[in-house]
Structure 1
Amino acid sequence: METHLAIQRTFFNTQATKDISFRIAQLDKLNKLLKDNEQLLYDAIYKDFKKSEFDTYTSELSLIYHDIKDAKNNLKSWARNERKPTNIINWPASSYVQKDPLGVCLIIGAWNYPYQLSFAPAVAALAAGNTVILKPSELPLNTSNVMAKLVNGAFNPEIFKVVEGGVPETTELLAQNFDKIFFTGSTKVGKIVYQAAAKNLIPVTLELGGKSPAFITKDCNLKMTAKRLVWAKFLNAGQTCIAPDYVLVDKCIENEFLQAVTAEIEKEQFSFHNHNYVQIINNANFERLKAMIPDQKVFFGGETKASDRYIAPTILHNITFEDACMQEEIFGPILPVISYDNLDDAIVEVQKFPKALSAYVFTSSSSIRKKVFNTLSFGGGMVNDAVMHITNSNLPFGGVGNSGIGSYHGEAGFNCFSHRKSIIKKGTWLELPLKYFPHSSSRLKWIKRFLKL
């Protein structure tokens, strides 16, 4: 691991990556590499957890292609120096902010969207002029293998290198003195990454998770709410960091809501055979999720099959905040439904959880929307939809508190991997003597006049 880092640092210090055309060339290479090998990528991820070509393209590859295109189209403007006003005590001068790449970056990807959550931050890092060591998750082994094969076969290891492995390899990587660490995964592991980075004062971005609530009010469009909520929750079999984790529904429409959601699930016919559903990633997660399903509280679904790592889309009702499914992030195809009589009381209960990565409100009331969004702290969210905010690269994506540190996507991603260096360029044709020795009461009076404090 020391060798990988040393090779990249030596190359970074040549200043080659600071050239915009060099960065665009790396993005072009990655774009072509992925497009030329799409079938390999589809085959690998299907072997890992039966993710279809349709879902792999729409929820992973298309987002990467968009990020590359967005970066190429905007890179010159993102990298341009930003002019800033100069205060009077520095006059005559001009001030600006210069965007510098941080250096050698470690990116640790996640297993649930193994391509998108590995390559999207890598695109941002390369666009910002950094070199990248990428450590994909080892859980989807075939996708990790194909990423290593493609990247290491096409890129100079001085610029972009994939390192495979599990906990020992990741631990060794975290012991190195990188210039930036970007991690996507659980809050538990995020804390380990943060502690490791602190030893060398390495800046980090942590994209984590949490229990993201969805509020359903009595004045919502119930049919559209059910359609969008079911898609967002059961996409990737619920293994999505920004999926609605649980629902809070106004008690006066609870029964209608449950029926509408059930009808939508039946209509979609989620299954591997229909290529619109995936397996639970491994046996450990399968058993963890199975234990969250109390038979007496299943409104719909609940079927499991260990040999296929299959858990049917499941709706739980009569749930309280004390139930087992409310004690941790679910990260699976289980949707607890909690009814409320008073929205303010429901918001208070949600505030007892750590800050979520996302929050959703299905309502036609602007006052309710404002109340929820102004009261709760969370990473990002939507009104009358869920999950789709991740597709807008004009919005920074990230968490707050336990759900993450920092953000990326679009220009926010470029800034995530850049240092904003402040510069003042002074003229030499004039210099006021006020700050120099000897100090005097008259000079102090003039300084106070200039500063107007």
Structure 2
Amino acid sequence: MTAAVLNLPETNTLDAEVRRVFEKQFDTAIRLRRSTAEERIAKIKKLKAAVLAHSTALQEAMYKDFKKPAVEVDLTEILPVVAEANDAIRKTKKWMKPSGVWPTMMMGGTKAYVQYEPRGRCLIVAPWNYPVNLCFVPLVSAIAAGNTAILKPSEMTPHTSAVMVKIVKETFTEDEVAIFEGDVAVSTALLALPFDHIFFTGSPAVGKVVMAAAAKHLTSVTLELGGKSPTIVDETADLDLAAKNILWGKFTNCGQTCVAPDHIFVHESVKAAFIEKATAVLKSSYGDSDAAQARSDSLTHVVNQRHTQRVAGLLEDAKSRGAKVLSGGGVNVADQWVAPTLITDIPAEAKIMSEEIFGPLLPIIGYTSLQKVIDEINANPKPLALYVWSRNEANIQKVMKETTAGGSCINHTVVHYLHGNLPFGGVNNSGIGSAHGLYGFKAFSHERAVVRTQFMMARMFFPPYSGFMKKVVPWLMKLV
């Protein structure tokens, strides 16, 4: 039997097909509670092999969808899936083992442990910006934890989704892993079902919709969201390295990255030097003109014309309010193209200062007081990422202790996402829960508390309550 693939216009038929597959996964989910590490690892190996076998097709599909360079497909889409799969292949057996805990003073005569159980039937809703990475990486975690899964890729990258359908069909039966193509109607039909866990990656606005739908069934969620991730470059930073690294982190995937630096606070004493270096890096990396950059084989395009118009609107709004374009600024809506752009002198009321950019526009904001920068960051929703560039340990610690973010890099950007031994996730508006490696395994697992009696010390507390008990309890209250 093949994996389910859906793209049906009739709502009744759509709902019925979605429910059919969902119900078909029930018995499998129960059976998978008994699955061994070897069985789970075998599935992960098959998924990895299928992704690698279709790597050329994925490169071609993503170029058709938004002209993503083949090297970037390998680095940001296929490599993360392979790395996550390899990590799970090595460690799933260890992760599955019950984790023993020491007895407390009240628990004499027992031993206790945490037993990791599959959550059951899981829904993974993936975005368009990294369609393979952000669908198959959580799928690896779901499989390692012993779950079934239904996948919903984005309709905005149809060529990529078509290849993903082939991968799923070749690798799984629909009672194990199914994939449903389609628009918001498909998402709505899926979210109406009582899944055991939902893993969603996308915007905070849609994350609220997902969480509201999950609440109707008390379904647990992992929400990987976004927001405006700030970067701080102080007066002691290595400006050459900062310029190269920040622009790499920003303009990879055309800025359509949830952890991309959204805007930079640069100390006024080094702002001019940083801008000069950043402009040079931009030209050397992608071309010395908008026309050259539009032809660059190192730059992805915007995903569609609607998003191109949205990003262009942010740029025009900022310019109309007095912002200065330092480099770039070109727009071609028909070609889904916005040039990598550096902007400064942006008034606070410009939309680009409050809306997530999610595109190749990089505001550069001068500052003189680090405390004021920290206060501004804290006045806004908690970011998914925060980056600080400094060689002053006091400044680094001040930023790290007085702000909060899903994750941070010191003298680097973006790479915390790639660190398989770190939890990846947001805080409140930027996300709920964590993913990757052990943290991904736990996200798709229920941590069941188990106490096992060796000898029954608790019998002394059974009624009737004697005078002895009245003496023992106050003593225990002091002891514990």
How does the TM-score come out when normalised to structure 1?
Answer: 0.97
Q: Does 1:339 align with 2:356?
A: no
Q: State the distance in 1 between where 2:434 and 2:454 align.
A: 37
- Describe the shift of the 1:65–1:272 C-alpha distance in structure 2 as closer, same or farther (beyond 3 A): farther
- Describe the shift of the 1:78–1:10 C-alpha distance in structure 2 as closer, same or farther (beyond 3 A): same
User: Any idea what the Cα deviations from partners look like across 1:62-100, whole Å, max 9, x if unmatched?
Assistant: 111000000010111111111111234332111111011
Q: Does 1:173 align with 2:190?
A: yes
Corresponding letter in the other structure for 1:442: F
Corresponding letter in the other structure for 1:342: S
Corresponding letter in the other structure for 1:286: T
Q: State the distance in 1 between where 2:428 and 2:131 align.
A: 24
Q: Which runs of structure 2 are paired with 1:255-294 in the superposition (5 Å)? A: 255-269=272-286, 271=293, 273-293=295-315, 294=318
Aligned residues: 452
Corresponding letter in the other structure for 1:125: A
Q: State the distance in 2 between where 1:433 and 1:205 align.
A: 42
Q: State the distance in 1 between where 2:104 and 2:34 align.
A: 33
Q: Which residue of 2 aligns with 1:60?
A: 77
Q: State the distance in 1 between where 2:32 and 2:155 align.
A: 33
* Contact 1:17/1:23 (<8 A) preserved: no
Q: Does 1:446 align with 2:446?
A: no
Matched position secondary structure for 1:397: coil
Matched position secondary structure for 1:402: coil
Q: Does 1:298 align with 2:316?
A: no
Matched position secondary structure for 1:307: coil
Deviation at 1:228, TM superposition (A): 0.4
Q: Which residue of 2 aligns with 1:93?
A: 110
Q: Which residue of 2 aligns with 1:201?
A: 218
Q: State the distance in 1 between where 2:343 and 2:116 align.
A: 49
Q: Does 1:365 align with 2:396?
A: no
Q: Does 1:118 align with 2:135?
A: yes
Deviation at 1:299, TM superposition (A): 1.4
Choose from 30, 38, 58 the match for 2:47.
Answer: 30
Corresponding letter in the other structure for 2:303: I
Q: Which residue of 2 aligns with 1:308?
A: 335
- Describe the shift of the 1:176–1:344 C-alpha distance in structure 2 as closer, same or farther (beyond 3 A): same
Matched position secondary structure for 2:273: helix
Q: State the distance in 2 between where 1:89 and 1:180 align.
A: 34
Q: Which residue of 1 aligns with 2:93?
A: 76
Q: State the distance in 1 between where 2:164 and 2:58 align.
A: 8
Deviation at 1:350, TM superposition (A): 1.5
- The unaligned stretches of length 5 or more in structure 1 are none
Q: Which runs of 4+ in 1 moved over 6 A?
A: none
Matched position secondary structure for 2:465: coil
Q: Does 1:5 align with 2:32?
A: no
* Contact 1:90/1:426 (<8 A) preserved: no
How does the TM-score come out when normalised to structure 2?
Answer: 0.92
Matched position secondary structure for 2:43: helix
Q: Which residue of 2 aligns with 1:317?
A: 344
- Describe the shift of the 1:193–1:339 C-alpha distance in structure 2 as closer, same or farther (beyond 3 A): same
Q: State the distance in 2 between where 1:337 and 1:16 align.
A: 52
Across the aligned residues of Structure 1 and Structure 2, the Cα RMSD in angstroms comes to 1.3
* Contact 1:132/1:161 (<8 A) preserved: yes
Taking only the aligned residue pairs, the percentage that are identical comes to: 37
Corresponding letter in the other structure for 2:464: P
Deviation at 1:327, TM superposition (A): 1.6
Q: State the distance in 2 between where 1:17 and 1:197 align.
A: 26
Q: Which residue of 1 aligns with 2:404?
A: 377
Matched position secondary structure for 2:245: helix
- The unaligned stretches of length 5 or more in structure 2 are 1-17, 288-292
Q: Select between 170-179 and 250-259 the one with higher mean Cα deviation.
A: 250-259
Q: State the distance in 2 between where 1:214 and 1:310 align.
A: 25
* Contact 1:107/1:132 (<8 A) preserved: yes
